[in-house]
Structure formats: C-alpha cells, structure tokens
Structure 1
Amino acid sequence: MIYVTRDLLTVLRERAASEDPDEVNIRLSATPAGEFEADLGLDPETPVVTHFTLPSVGSSVSSVFGVDLGAPAGEGSARFLSHPDGFLGVSRTDDLAAVVIVAVPPYDDDAVAAFDRAGDGVELAVVDAAPPSESVPE
C-alpha cells in the first residue's frame, strides 16, 4: 500500500490538468509517518508521500554532466506522471521509480492509481494530515 497526503495529491492532479495535453513528470518524496504531529495509525517508519521536487530543479547540471542534483540524497523514491492519452498504467517510456502514481483525464479522485516499478497496481491510500513543518536553517 502507498500512502499519500490529500493536499499533495490535489496539487499534483491540478498540475496535471493545467499542463494537459502535455504530460507531467514529477519526483516525489516521503516523510515517515512517525514524524507527523497527528497519529496516522501507521507504523512510525511507514513512508507517506508528502512532497514534490519541481522538474526544473537541478536540470542545468543534469543537462551538462548527466548527474541529477535536483533531489537531496535518498529522496525521490516515487514519481507522479500524467497520461493525457487516458492510459491509467505504467508504460515502457515512463520514468520509473519504486512507486509511480499516475493520473489521467479528468484528473479527479477516480482517475489516479499507483503502481510499482514493474507496472503492477498498488493500493493508494490518501491520508488527511499535513506533513511536519519544516524550516530552512539560518
């Protein structure tokens, strides 16, 4: 089972709808359930997908050197993809990750599914909780 916060999933679906007919491909990151202020009823080590990294972050270095510096080390084990053609699955041309969340038109709650790297369906559970507050060290 894959857990994702409702707010993140809403933002991702809205982004997919606004970019249609172009595809969206976004790296996602998770936060352990134990780091949330609210008790999610999950094992504290269970990852909950909470954040995304904009596709343009680190792209100049990647373009020149082929090294992806857009995500912190150890982050980005999930990916969000939109398929404007309506294919609710993982294709051979998709960028893969351990977990892939795919959305198709009309980009509503019923038009989203999760898959593992092999393209097998995985249950997607939406969590109604905000991730822990973060701040940038001064």
Structure 2
Amino acid sequence: MTRSDDESRRVYATQGLIDLLLERAAAADPARENVVLDATPAGEFDADLGVDPATPVLTHFYLPAGRAVSDVFGVDLGTPAGRGRARFLTHPQGPAELTRRDDLAGVVLLAVPPWGTETLTAFDRQGRRLPLTVLDAEPPVESLPE
C-alpha cells in the first residue's frame, strides 16, 4: 500500500469523542456497546486541523433509541436519516477483530479491554484495519434553530 493510499483510508476522530466512548465501554463492561457515530467536515472546525477541509472527523454519537422502539417501527429512530456511517463497538471478551455478529458500517471503531486508546482499532466494513488519528480539537458548537 502506498503512502497516499494509507492517507486516503485514514480515520480521524476527536479526543473528546474517543474519551467518552471509552468511558461508556468501561461503564457497560461486561456488556457490549454498539453506538452509531457521526462526523463533521474538518473545514467546519475553528482550528486548522492540517487535513483537507472535506475530510470527515468523527465528532459525536447517537444514543441508541432502544430495542423496543426499533422492534415496533423496524428502524433505529435514534439516528437521523442519512447520518451515522460509522460505529463504535466493544468486545469485552475479545477478539480485537470484527466478527460476523458485529453490526458493520463504512468505518468501525472497535475497543477491547483495557479500555484505552492503545486497544482501540479502526476497521472498514471488510474487516481491514485502517489508520486512526485522534485529534485534540473541539468540534464546532451546534445549536437548535429557534
């Protein structure tokens, strides 16, 4: 794989999001976590992140709406349509690889114990490892329209 191929497959996420996801994983242990993630284009950050402005940076997640809601309506109402093309999954007992039982997305962040960045890995939907860069940056503040 050439350097440009490696860079084009790189996954970016904010430190704040990663910290929060790992805290959720530790709190849920021994249960698994399965959370939909969403991104903000790098160009929308106040600071220059040093990447192309169109590069997606994982910045936030959607709380699961609950099994009862999806069972009744047949869809996850906790995720806005067209959003959430990434997931955060945990394997409290391992393995540190995607399995056939996992919900897949274009990008999957997978964590195993001990819950830290050193045991967090990014994958594509085919289970290939992707390079992950954690950025110490705050996403833009969002507000609801009045």
Band of TM-score, shorter chain: over 0.9
For structure 1, the residue ranges without an aligned partner over 5 or more in a row are: none
- CA offsets 1:47-96 (integer angstroms, 9 cap, x no match): 00000001126x55422121222212221000000100121111000010
1:40 counterpart (49, 72, 81): 49
The letter for the 2-side match of 1:16 is: A
- What residue in structure 1 maps to residue 30 of structure 2? 21
Q: Are 1:51 and 2:60 matched, yes or no?
A: yes
Alpha-carbon offset, residue 15 of structure 1: 0.5
TM-score (structure 1 length as normaliser): 0.95
Between the aligned residues of both structures, percent identity stands at 58
- What residue in structure 2 maps to residue 6 of structure 1? 15
Q: Are 1:83 and 2:87 matched, yes or no?
A: no
The letter for the 2-side match of 1:32 is: P
- What residue in structure 1 maps to residue 102 of structure 2? 94
Give the whole-Å Cα distance in 1 for the aligned partners of 2:120 and 2:34.
14
Q: Are 1:74 and 2:82 matched, yes or no?
A: yes
Partner SS for 1:63: helix
For structure 2, the residue ranges without an aligned partner over 5 or more in a row are: 1-9
Which ranges of 4 or more aligned residues in structure 1 deviate by more than 4 Å? Answer: none
- CA offsets 1:103-123 (integer angstroms, 9 cap, x no match): 000111211000000000001
- What residue in structure 2 maps to residue 63 of structure 1? 71
TM-score (structure 2 length as normaliser): 0.90
Give the whole-Å Cα distance in 2 for the aligned partners of 1:112 and 1:96.
16
2:123 counterpart (106, 115, 130): 115
Give the whole-Å Cα distance in 1 for the aligned partners of 2:139 and 2:68.
29
Supply the RMSD in Å over aligned alpha carbons: 1.2
Give the whole-Å Cα distance in 2 for the aligned partners of 1:4 and 1:79.
12
> Any conservation in 1 of the 2:64–2:76 contact (CA below 8 Å)?
no
